[in-house]
Amino acid sequence: MLFLLGITISACDTQHPPPPQFRDQGAALDSILQSYQADSVEFENMREADLTDSALTVALVNCKRLPSADPDSSARALTGIASVIHRTVLDHSRYKSYYIVFVESYDDGVFKMPYRKVERVVRVDEIEN
């Protein structure tokens, strides 16, 4: 039974919905990834059925650079990332907020385990147009 549960969890983890579409084909997102030297980005809450809270989660994975430890500076950096995502995501009217999180992941043989480092929910009304 435990073996079957492990297979189910592993199979579920590999099925990610496609990322949101971007006006610039992801060029601005690539720039963010390069700035923070991230291995990858993962998105959650893109499907219609997931939009009950109207938030898009943007997880920057295994970044070699992080925003400043200063809370105000970090908040500005995360708001800036949310602003870029908001301006470039194709259907930004679907989202009322963006959850920006920096995570460190490692492979334990079954699935990735994220560890939160830096995170912030940015409401659309906080983003300068």
What pLDDT digit, counting tens, does each position of 60-107 carry? Answer: 988 999 898 888 999 999 999 999 999 999 988 888 999 999 988 776
pLDDT of residue 16: 56
pLDDT of residue 94: 84
Can you point out the beta strands (E) in 45-111?
Answer: 55-61, 97-107
- What is the CB neighbour count within 10 angstroms for residue 121? 14
DSSP helix/strand/coil, 5: helix
C-alpha–C-alpha distance, residues 22 and 73, integer Å: 27
Q: Mean of the pLDDT values across residues 16-20? A: 71
> What ranges in the chain are assigned the alpha helix state H?
2-13, 27-35, 71-88
N-terminal to C-terminal alpha carbon distance within the chain: 53
